[in-house]
């Protein structure tokens, strides 16, 4: 059975890692003084699209956007919550 070829990396420019002066090494942080670990967050498709849009506008990845919010590098302004549209009943 032939193996499938991997598709070429199609990351957009803002999703790529920033240039790093030294050699990347596993277990050592490149941008921050600690390594990142995978964390799962449940989001609606609307929230995911919103984060992707903000990240693209800033020229960073979605992960880096959340990192900067968590490190309080980016300030969050609280707005009035948006009400969900009511389901249309037939």
pLDDT of residue 35: 79
Which pLDDT tens digit goes with each residue over 25-38? 565 566 667 877 88
Q: Where exactly are the structural domains of the chain?
A: 43-75
Q: Does residue 50 surpass a pLDDT of 90?
A: yes
Token pair recorded at residue 39: 């964390």
What rounded mean pLDDT belongs to the chain? 76
What percent of the chain has pLDDT above 90? 33
Taking the C-alpha atoms of residue 28 and residue 35, their distance in angstroms, rounded to an integer, is 6
Handedness of CA 22, 26, 31, 32 (dihedral sign): negative
CB 58 within 8 A of CB 73: no
């Amino acid at each position: 059975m032939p193996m499938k070829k991997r598709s070429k990396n199609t990351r957009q420019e803002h999703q790529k890692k920033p240039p790093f002066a030294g050699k990347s090494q596993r277990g050592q942080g490149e941008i921050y003084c600690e390594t990142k670990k995978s964390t799962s967050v449940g989001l609606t498709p609307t929230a995911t699209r919103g984060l992707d849009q903000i990240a693209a506008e800033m020229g960073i990845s979605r992960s880096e956007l959340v990192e900067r919010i968590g490190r309080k590098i980016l300030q969050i302004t609280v707005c009035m919550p948006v009400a969900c549209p009511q389901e249309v009943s037939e």
